[in-house]
Chain A
């Protein structure tokens, strides 16, 4: 908070004194309260990306470098051309701070916001995905409360709007106890024309400005400045800054907007989210190089007596701003009338390049259109935390538990167990596109009706790995998310990210952000994956405990599969088939579930990524696909490859007999080999008759591939070749442990 003098009165603002001076400089006058409030919101971290912008410049050239990228970073959503006349729009966003205070409405309005971002690209939202982080659930009723109501908020909102939630990811770790993370991703599908009809700018003077949807109330005023602060015990008092959503109105807005866009009379479209009417009007006119006259008395307010400050800054949900061609005004309004949506023609654009807001006849705001988006940026300091040296050297104590006891513990752990408790509450079938459904594979797969194309999407990252090494951890997140769609036969075509970090004013926290961006940038350039959008959430820091969350640069990857016959599934298919592993295992137990579940330990050496090696493996897998050699495929993730194999056995009650003796090229200890989380490995099922050809190809591609064993007809996992004695695991027991953890914790 900063105290400044305005017209002789002391007022508190979020911006710094320097920024306040910059505002006066830009306006060449002293701002009034409404104007200052507008700058305060638009120059907040959340809206202006003032700490992250200098670093995010790295991502800015996707549109230039990839001919199929139609919209890149900086727009409401990334848009790519997938051929056959169709485009996909997607974006991921955070709604962390509101959800930490009010989990149900915080999560619900997060979904509402991301749907609007996709909608304002002119396309229909067709899928949601939600990566989440909470404190550990066990014996922690606060974490259970947050988890339960975040999931319910997502379910109630998403289900009602008729957009399937096709995937997600959740991790539980104590660093998220008071700062849970709720990231929300949405994918939209439309034709190229739909997208071209609705740019987020008002570039033509004389067009009408229409506000459509819900009414404007006093809720959520200054929601974004609240999201740009760290949470304190005082934050409970911020509860009125959390907006309340209405998924029914949102559903009507979706239909009315899409029908209005189809009329061809909409020239610009923008949702009202963070920053409300201030953000929408200034960004529309600013990016369109126009100005506008707007009359606040036309705005439909929820309560009488709202002043210009409140109307301009309200973040009431469920509102869209339309820029409409004069000749099409009535046609567009008729669409809104059909859906019984309230609307108001609040102004017209002009060539003045100034945003003028009137309260009836009184001019209350006069700001150059572009000024609000020209916030100063900060060059933040970055510094590697000292504690990392010690953490990386951490070693586990002598192992007491036997290997089979450890595996039973791991499969039941919160981060590995089945997430069925979550996805059963989400309608993941609506839209009749879901081909690989929640819980069936590494990622969701949707068909594009009317084509022979399918899209796969996966979200997530490993926060524990990123905590130890954000550069390698972010790359590892990319390898993992790409692996999740490649295992279903999809080629990665684009990525968006959602960067969740601590306070950027603290050099150690900013270092995590900076290194993560470098990791993503380096990897995506090497592997030719365009970065088409991103979102940054800073200040995920607990002021009372003085701790930041573990760095969580969430990654979403979207991929394409051509032809139904090329979709690969996860479960083992047939007894007698061989089980192969692609990729070596290294002694990389840092940040593993093994360390945290068995030893309650955070340190160690985390996985590293070798891009050249990863590229070879992916090329090799697609060559095997081309030859139809792979019967099932599952990317190796948390807990190591034995967990992966168990998951592949579950569906058809099969088992496996493994001998890991020949696989141990790096002479690892038994626990290192089994539980290391080295990235980029796959377990595949093949027919014995194809074995030699597959091994020849491995040699040709220079990829490390070993047979681990064969599939057997009984639900047991028999593993030999250890330095210690053989183990035999009961897969029925593993399955019941896997299934029961969350219900036992949550359904009480």
Chain B
């Protein structure tokens, strides 16, 4: 079966071409770069909201893109269970669109931070983590100024197993030092109740080829391999 993915190009997105490169050249699946006003969900098995500074992050990161017609289209996909991944600014758009709960606040350092971190996989039963092991430690970079996850309903997230990734040290310990932005409970990524929509601040597309990783890993690839697996299971 053929799988077809859309990467939405919002004005000001800047990781769109990186996601296209990985999906086409590393994973090897059919992928379209789609201008946000032109996006039609019916043609696609899954959608990726890439990182960047949509609409300059003016007003609030992700808020203007959350009102794009592309989000109405994506909402159809959300409801019928197709996979949706929001990376960095894409995560901010997903919380602003209320596809996912909580909010992303300014980093506690008040500075933009770009570095490789470790993530611990808390839930491997989602559209983008089914090829990972639970408690696995991933190498992956972050690059954001507003990535401090906050929710007033942490308990519910925990009970529903919606916390997918936490910032950890390389041994997998969830420590304050390993938390790069002050996120509540070291949360780096979450999913919806149905497990088909994930948002995370780190960049899997920057961690999908050994040449880019300080440890020669390709953990980012697992996100996209999982997505393909999820689509196959869903449609078979």
Contact = CB atoms under 8 A, between A and B. Distances in A.
Centre residue among A160, A338, A339, A428 by max chain B CB count within 10 A? A160
B21 A432 contact: yes
A427 B53 contact: no
Contacts of B211: 435, 447, 564
A428 B11 contact: no
Contacts of B15: 162, 430
A53 to B, nearest CB: 38
Centre residue among B14, B52, B58, B211 by max chain A CB count within 10 A? B14
Given A424-B114, A425-B113, A431 B18 contact: yes
Centre residue among A251, A339, A434 by max chain B CB count within 10 A? A251
Centre residue among A162, A246, A423 by max chain B CB count within 10 A? A162
A423 B25 CA distance: 29
B112 A429 contact: no
Contact of B143 (A156, A252, A430, A440): A430
Contact of B111 (A246, A424, A428): A424
A562 B200 CA distance: 35
Given A159-B143, A425-B113, A248 B35 contact: no
Contact of B12 (A251, A427, A432): A251
A431 B206 CA distance: 8
B205 A248 contact: no
Nearest to B212: A432
Contact of A424 (B22, B113, B205, B206): B113
Contact of B56 (A247, A424, A430, A447): A247
Given A248-B12, A338-B35, A447-B211, A432 B114 contact: no
A425 B111 contact: yes
Interface string A587-606: 00000000000000000000
The bracket for how many chain A residues form the interface is 20 to 34
B114 A435 contact: no
A429 B143 contact: yes
A432 B112 contact: no
Interface in B12-65: 12, 14-15, 17-18, 21-22, 25, 35, 51-53, 55-58
B55 A430 contact: no
B111 A432 contact: no
A490 to B, nearest CB: 16
B11 A160 contact: no
A684 to B, nearest CB: 22
Nearest to A151: B111
A401 interface: no
Interface in B189-218: 203, 205-206, 209, 211-212, 214
A462 interface: no
Nearest to A440: B214
Contacts of B112: 155-156, 159, 424-427
A243 interface: no
A449 interface: yes
Interface in A129-165: 155-156, 159-162
B206 A432 contact: yes
A248 B141 contact: no
A428 to B, nearest CB: 6
Contact of A430 (B14, B57, B145, B214): B14
Contacts, number: 83
A434 B111 CA distance: 22
A248 B53 contact: yes
A429 B58 contact: no
B35 A160 contact: no
Given A155-B112, A340-B11, A425-B111, A247 B53 contact: yes
Interface string A408-443: 000000000000000111111111101101001000
B115 interface: yes
Contacts of A564: 211
Given A159-B53, A430-B14, A449-B21, A248 B113 contact: no
Contacts of B55: 248
A160 B56 contact: yes
A429 B11 contact: no
A117 B220 CA distance: 34
Contacts of A426: 112, 114
A425 B52 CA distance: 15
B151 to A, nearest CB: 26
A256 to B, nearest CB: 10
B56 A248 contact: yes
A264 to B, nearest CB: 20
Contacts of A162: 14-15, 52-53
Contacts of A425: 111-114
Contacts of A159: 53, 112, 143, 145
Interface of B: 11-12, 14-15, 17-18, 21-22, 25, 35, 51-53, 55-58, 111-115, 141, 143, 145, 203, 205-206, 209, 211-212, 214
Given A160-B53, A449-B21, 20 more contacts: A160-B14, A160-B57, A162-B52, A248-B58, A249-B56, A251-B14, A251-B52, A338-B35, A424-B112, A425-B113, A426-B112, A427-B112, A430-B206, A431-B17, A432-B18, A432-B22, A432-B206, A435-B211, A447-B211, A449-B25
13 contacts: A155-B112, A160-B12, A248-B53, A249-B56, A251-B53, A252-B12, A424-B111, A424-B112, A424-B114, A429-B141, A429-B143, A430-B18, A431-B18
Sorted nearest first, the 8 A-B pairs with minimum C-beta distance are: A162-B14, A248-B56, A160-B53, A427-B143, A432-B18, A427-B114, A425-B112, A429-B206
